[in-house]
Structures are given as structure tokens and as C-alpha cells.
Amino acid sequence: MSSIIEDLIARKVFNNRGEETIEVDIITAQGFGRASAPAGKSRGKTEVTYYPQGGVDQALKKIEELIAPELAGLNADFQEEIDSTLHEVDGTSNLKNIGGNAAFVISLANAEAAANSHGLLLFQFLGGSNANTLPCPLGNTISGGQHARGKAPDIQEYLALPHGAETFLEAATANAQIHKKIGDALKKKSTVFNGGKSDEGAWISNIGNIDAFEVIAKACEEVGNEMDFECGFGIDVAASSLWKAKEEKYAYESEGKKRDTAEQLEYLLDLIEKYHLAYVEDPFHEEDFESFAELTKKAKNCLVCGDDLFTTNNERLNQGVKLKAANAIIIKVNQIGTLTDAAETIETAQKHGYTTVMSHRSGDTCDWHIAHLAVAFKCPIIKTGIVEGARIAKINELVRIEHFLGNRAKMADLKIL
Ligand code: PGA
Ligand code: ZN
């Protein structure tokens, strides 16, 4: 059979921060798949453990000694069997024995190897013949919080979201222009701005939270007018990193201000109204499902998205669904480990009308698989930055998918907006 796994080779490589990570090759009788693992900086507390004790070296040893012999001879077409074998070998609930990133790379490389064994692209293999919808690109333009060093906005990400384009290529073009305009505006605004960028390729500038809103609002409006379609924008507050548990307040250092939960809610509702925000991610810390629900109820025409809140975890999402905590969810496969786990979470989300946002991590490689996963799993948004090599790898892969699909390709419709 063509998809039988013959070999699994793992090696140490680097992500865009220069941190060590894992890459895996899976070789089947007639195919080949390769994947490498990303890493988060502002991680959710309930993510799986990335590496066993001993880090990448130990993970490589475990892949070679424990996992590769178990997978040899299995059929890569049966993803669930591969993924459950990974869980069995690990034997813990959070993958701390083999490491979530070991599970992630093997799971992804396996899917790629299966697709390749059948002469299909990954999105076709996983999504079937009706996977023809391209996601809207949600792109980081200004970085703050834990993604910046020195003085910067407290809000972690200011994100452009063109959602009226007819093609992915046009939407990606809009994002590139918005990013450039913002760079020009920041240069005019601050004499000390020197063009510095974060790991995700977003600008880092010594400006306040509100100044950043003004800059992105203007850039999105101008580009929207020039290109003649809607360019919305939003934020990732990454509020867990602002939350001071002892004081029960969110600390906005750049403003010299602390906000309790009620004030945070009011602040965000004002911002959503004033700037017509299309998207707000992690507005409250990761255990505050109730405040998420409050915001979701009150915010008009806005995606309220859980990242650290859900960590791509089906159980946490089910809790969120019960409480009506959000209307969108970030999908980061390496938060939960395997493709099967992530697919289960996506299914729950879509069943309950949540907008699924396939996402990169701040530390990432040129691995482009999430481009295929977004199309295969019908995620209407992909969050993957605008410039910087690891981001462009994914954007360009989506351009290729669109090109490949020809006139069967269409853009996702963000109904809530
Ligand atoms: P990360 O965060 O640094 O954990 O990848 C990105 C995000 O919060 O969306
Ligand atoms: Zn986030």
C-alpha cells in the first residue's frame, strides 16, 4: 500500500526567534511529509506541555526510541490511529512525556505524507473537493505587550482584517499596504521610531494604546477606499498578560492606569463602538469566562475571540459554549497537540456558530501547513501576520492555493460583521 509509513526522521531546527525546535520527515512507500513546530510567547496556561524535561534533545530521543518504532508499518491515511498512537505512547493528559510539539510535528507530517502518497495537496486530502474557500487574512501591524521590548502599547496586537475583498491576493495586498502606511505614519509621529519590528513582523513603536488605534484606523480606511472594499481591524488584548491576580486589575503600564474587571469591560465596549472594531481577542484573563460572555452579549458586530481562554481545547470550548463566552476561537494546533484533537475542537466550534481562526504562533518557522488547514477545515479567518519570512510562507501558500483552484476559489464571508 502506498501510504504505509516506512521511516520517520526527526531533527533539530530553528524558529524565527532562533529558538531550537523540532522538524520531522515521514516517508511512506509512495510519499513524503515534513513539518516543523512553532512556539508561543504569551502562552495559555492550559496549553499542552511543549517539550519533555530535557527540551528538544529529549523530545528527539523519545521520537527515535519510542515513537518511530510504533508508527513504522502503520497506514498514514488513518490520521486518528496515528494520533491516538501518539497519545498512547505519551500516556499523560497534557503530552508532557513526549512533548506537545513532538506530537504536533508528527501529526502534521503524517497528514502531509498521506496527502502526498495520493498525489493530493494537503487541503484537498483533508478537505475534499468542496474545500475551495480562502480565509480572510488577519494581520498584525503594531506589536505591544509581551511581544514588544521597551516602551510600546500595552495591547499585544493591532490587527488588520480586510473582509470585503473578492480574492485572497487582493486581501493580502491590502494588508501589505496597511502595514506600510502604518510604518510611514509611525515615522511621522515619533522621532525615535527606527523601523523596529516584532517576531511577527509588526511595528514596534513608543506610542500609546489610543495613538495606535488612530494610526491603524486611518490606514485601514485609506486602503479600504483605495481598493474599494472593507478593511476592518481589531486587537488581541492578550489580557492574561495584563492581569494582576492579587489586585484583581488589568495593568496598563503605558497609561499608568489599572482597570478592574468592570472598567475593562467598559473600556473595551467604548473602543469597539468608537473604532468599529471587527475583532477582539482575549479581552479578559484566561479564567474569566463570565466577563467574556458579558462582552459577547453587549458588543455589536464584533468577533469576540478566545485564544488563551480556550487553548484549542474541546473541553474548555464546551464550557465556553455553555456560558456563551465568545463567538470566535483561535485554533493553534500545537496548543492541543494533534490534528485529530484540533479537528474535534473545530467541529464543536462550527456546530455552535463560532468563527474559527486558524493561527500561527509568534515564534514560527517557514512551515506553511496552517494555510492548508484553514482551507481544509473551512476557517473563515487565518491569523498569520503580514510581513516576515515565517508569515509570508503561509500567505504565499494561500496565494498558490487560490491560483491552483482558479475560478472555483472564493473568499470566506464573515457573516457577523
Ligand atoms: P503566542 O501569542 O506568542 O503565544 O504565539 C500569539 C497570540 O496571543 O495570539
Ligand atoms: Zn492571542
Q: Which amino acid is at 239?
A: A
pLDDT in tens, 69-109: 999 999 999 999 999 999 999 999 999 999 999 999 999 99
The reply to whether ligand 1 has any atom less than 6 angstroms from the CB of 332 is: no
pLDDT in tens, 10-37: 999 999 999 999 999 999 999 999 999 9
pLDDT in tens, 273-321: 999 999 999 999 999 999 999 999 999 899 999 999 999 999 999 999 9
The distance from CA 379 to its chain's CA centroid, rounded to whole angstroms, is 11
Res. 1: pLDDT tops 70: no
| 258 Cα: distance to centroid of ligand 1 (angstroms) | 23
Q: What pLDDT shows up at residue 190?
A: 85
Q: How confident is the model at residue 49 (pLDDT cuts 50, 70, 90)?
A: very high
Enter the C-alpha cell of residue 87: 497519545
How far is Cα 107 from Cα 79, in angstroms, rounded to an integer?
8
Q: What pLDDT shows up at residue 191?
A: 85
The share of the chain scoring above pLDDT 90, in percent, equals 97
- Mean pLDDT for 127-141 is 97
Ligand 1 atom at minimum distance from 359 CA: 9
Q: How confident is the model at residue 415 (pLDDT cuts 50, 70, 90)?
A: confident
Q: What pairs with residue 21 in β-bridges? A: 13
How far is Cα 283 from Cα 280, in angstroms, rounded to an integer?
6
| 69 Cα: distance to centroid of ligand 1 (angstroms) | 34
| 3 Cα: distance to centroid of ligand 2 (angstroms) | 36
Q: What pLDDT shows up at residue 161?
A: 98
The reply to whether ligand 1 has any atom less than 6 angstroms from the CB of 240 is: no
The distance from CA 416 to its chain's CA centroid, rounded to whole angstroms, is 20
Q: Which protein residue's CA is at the shortest distance from atom 2 of ligand 1?
A: 42
Res. 205: pLDDT tops 80: yes
Task: Tell me which residues are annotated as active site.
Answer: 200, 332
| Ligand in nearest proximity to the CA of 42 | 1
Res. 416: pLDDT tops 90: no
pLDDT in tens, 342-387: 999 999 999 999 999 999 999 999 999 999 999 999 999 999 999 9
Counts of helices then strands in the chain (DSSP H, E): 14, 16
| 362 Cα: distance to centroid of ligand 1 (angstroms) | 5
Res. 258: pLDDT tops 90: yes
Ligand 1 atom at minimum distance from 44 CA: 4
User: Helix or strand or coil: residue 128?
Assistant: coil
Q: What pLDDT shows up at residue 208?
A: 95
Q: How far is CA 56 from CA 14, 50, 210, 212, 337, in A?
A: 11, 9, 41, 38, 15
Residue 308 backbone dihedrals phi, psi, to 5 degrees: -60, -25
Residue 286 backbone dihedrals phi, psi, to 5 degrees: -70, -5
The reply to whether ligand 1 has any atom less than 6 angstroms from the CB of 238 is: yes
pLDDT in tens, 160-199: 999 999 999 999 999 999 999 999 999 999 888 999 999 9
| 27 Cα: distance to centroid of ligand 2 (angstroms) | 34
Ligand 1 atom at minimum distance from 199 CA: 3
- Mean pLDDT for 231-258 is 97
Please choose, from the candidates 314, 307, 308, 279, the residue with its C-alpha nearest in 3D space to the C-alpha of residue 295.
Answer: 279
Res. 334: pLDDT tops 70: yes
How far is Cα 236 from Cα 30, in angstroms, rounded to an integer?
43
The reply to whether ligand 1 has any atom less than 6 angstroms from the CB of 236 is: yes
Q: How confident is the model at residue 119 (pLDDT cuts 50, 70, 90)?
A: very high
Do the bridges between strand 410-411 and strand 157-162 make them parallel or antiparallel, or are there none, so unpaired? unpaired
| 75 Cα: distance to centroid of ligand 2 (angstroms) | 35
- Mean pLDDT for 235-259 is 97
| Pocket probe mutation, ligand 1, options 361, 365, 388, max atoms within 8 Å of Cβ | 361
User: Helix or strand or coil: residue 63?
Assistant: helix
| Mean of all residue pLDDT scores within the chain | 97
The share of the chain scoring above pLDDT 70, in percent, equals 100
The reply to whether ligand 1 has any atom less than 6 angstroms from the CB of 384 is: no
The reply to whether ligand 1 has any atom less than 6 angstroms from the CB of 41 is: yes
- Using the structure block, give the residue that is written with the C-alpha cell 488547514: 373
The reply to whether ligand 1 has any atom less than 6 angstroms from the CB of 43 is: yes
Q: How far is CA 135 from CA 74, 205, 376, 395, in A?
A: 33, 29, 10, 10
* 234 Cβ contact partners less than 8 Å away, ≥ 6 residues apart: 138, 159, 161, 277, 278, 279, 280, 281, 302, 303
The reply to whether ligand 1 has any atom less than 6 angstroms from the CB of 307 is: yes
Q: What pLDDT shows up at residue 150?
A: 81
User: Helix or strand or coil: residue 372?
Assistant: helix
Q: Which protein residue's CA is at the shortest distance from atom 1 of ligand 1?
A: 40
Q: How confident is the model at residue 324 (pLDDT cuts 50, 70, 90)?
A: very high
